[in-house]
Structure 1
Amino acid sequence: MGVFVAEVRPRWSDMDVFGHVNHANTVTLLEEARVDLLFHEASLRGADDLARGVVVAKLVVDYRAPLYANGGVLRIEMSVREIRAAYFVLDYAVRGGPTEADPVAVTASTTLAPYDLTSGKPRRITDTERDFLAAWHSGGNGA
């Protein structure tokens, strides 16, 4: 598979005084796309434990161009760059529109750690989760 595509729709309230999507709201759009992959898609493929607890350990965002809330959707392409025993790295390319031809406005990555909410501690990635994540592997370091 390699790349998971989610569509998100910025809200008018996401824009700042300069008329583009505020940086903090851009991070929220990344989260919405990540939920599509790690909660919805993972559940459909039997990797339900990801929805029970995953925390962001690191976030890196690079802005190339402004995003706008113009009523349309943005295309967010996600792939897994690295899978380790207790964390994985998810890469994002946010396009300024709904198609693969739209220019990339934002690139980002999150380092995510599975988390056991009951014990309040990080946990290891299960074999089922590893298989699910490997389906979206981009071919970079680690899997």
Structure 2
Amino acid sequence: MRHLYPCPLRWSDMDAFGHVNNAVFVRYLEEARIDFMRRLAPGDGSPSFKGGSVVARHEIDYLRQLVHRPEPVTVELWVRKISAASMTVGYEVKDEDTVYLRASTVVVPFDFAAGRPRRLTAEEKAILKEYLDDAAHQEGAVGA
């Protein structure tokens, strides 16, 4: 399964050359990841996905220029890998005809009260497995 996030393009996202600045793409990934994590939280008093997380690594391939337009781009997000204390998220920033960026992010669950990383719970792993999909993006994916 994939998570789709419609990401608006803002005039302030453009650089002096008229295309989306490379650093802004990281914000697009963050927006999609936050939207994804909020939707994962099961509710019902479950602590899963309620705490914080930190980014341990980004890997990005910029494929095409993206210029400002009124229509949003789609950030497609899936889980590439689940380990005991991290997950790797894959992304494509795209529209119907063009992939502008492929990326991956290693995300570590973090206990801010204790000031240290924590392990993923069994419930969190089970939920993340629904989005585990690396086979379709092995060719051409970042970090494959």
Q: Same fold (TM over 0.5)?
A: yes
1:102, distance to aligned residue in structure 2 (A): 2.5
Give 3-state SS (helix, strand or coil) of 1:50's partner.
coil
Q: Retained in 2: the 8 A contact 1:9–1:69?
A: no
Alignment of 1:1-143 (within 5 A): 2-39=1-38, 41-43=39-41, 45-46=42-43, 49-95=48-94, 97=95, 101-140=96-135
Distance of 1:7 and 1:107 partners within structure 2: 16
Moved over 4 A (4+): none
CA apart distance, 1:49:
3.6
| Distance change (3 Å), C-alpha of 1:64 and 1:129 | same
SS of structure 1 residue aligned to 2:107:
strand
Distance of 2:134 and 2:19 partners within structure 1 = 33
* Identical amino acids, percent of aligned pairs: 37
Structure 1 residues 75 and 124, CA gap change in structure 2 (3 angstroms): same
Q: How many angstroms apart in 2 are the aligned matches of 1:51 and 1:60?
A: 26
The unaligned stretches of length 5 or more in structure 2 are 139-144
Q: Give, in whole Å, the separation in 2 of the partners of 1:133 and 1:25.
A: 26
Q: Which runs of 5+ in 1 are unaligned?
A: none
Aligned residues: 134
User: Which one-letter code corresponds to 1:137 in the other structure?
Assistant: L
Q: Note the aligned Cα RMSD (angstroms).
A: 1.7
Per the normalisation by structure 1, the TM-score is: 0.87
